[in-house]
Amino acid sequence: MEDELKQVRVIGFITSGAFHNDKVKNPLPMNYLSETTLPKKLRNDLRDNGWFDADGNVCWPTTFQPDPVKGVDGNVYLSMNDNTNEGLKLSMMMKGVDLLSI
């Protein structure tokens, strides 16, 4: 049986524009993203830093950029927001690739 190739899996999320409203910050529920295969640490980080706005959109601060997380499946999960600049994108991808070898 061949070993499955492990990957850096990139997840994008929106923090600005029409979807960003920080006037009303309703907490995300404890089970937010619990039915996904995302690592628990990343799910908790996304939940703890996000909120529902008055229109029900899920929002995060424009500066929110979680670190890459290695899942129990051996893949690395890298979240990038719509404000992540090119230099940070490259740096985060390099961190993600480094985690694959651990």
Give the model confidence (pLDDT) of 46-89 as tens digits.
999 999 988 888 888 888 999 999 999 999 999 998 888 888 88
Question: Is the pLDDT at 1 greater than 50, yes or no?
Answer: no
Say if residues 82 and 16 touch (Cβ distance below 8 Å). Answer: yes
Listed residue (82, 69, 4, 1) closest to 37, CA to CA: 69
pLDDT digit string (tens) for 2-18? 467 899 999 888 776 66
pTM beyond 0.75: the answer is: yes
Over residues 25-47, the pLDDT tens digits come to: 999 999 999 999 999 999 999 99
CA distance 79 to 89: 10
| Cα distances (Å, whole numbers) of residue 23 to 26, 27, 51 | 10, 13, 11
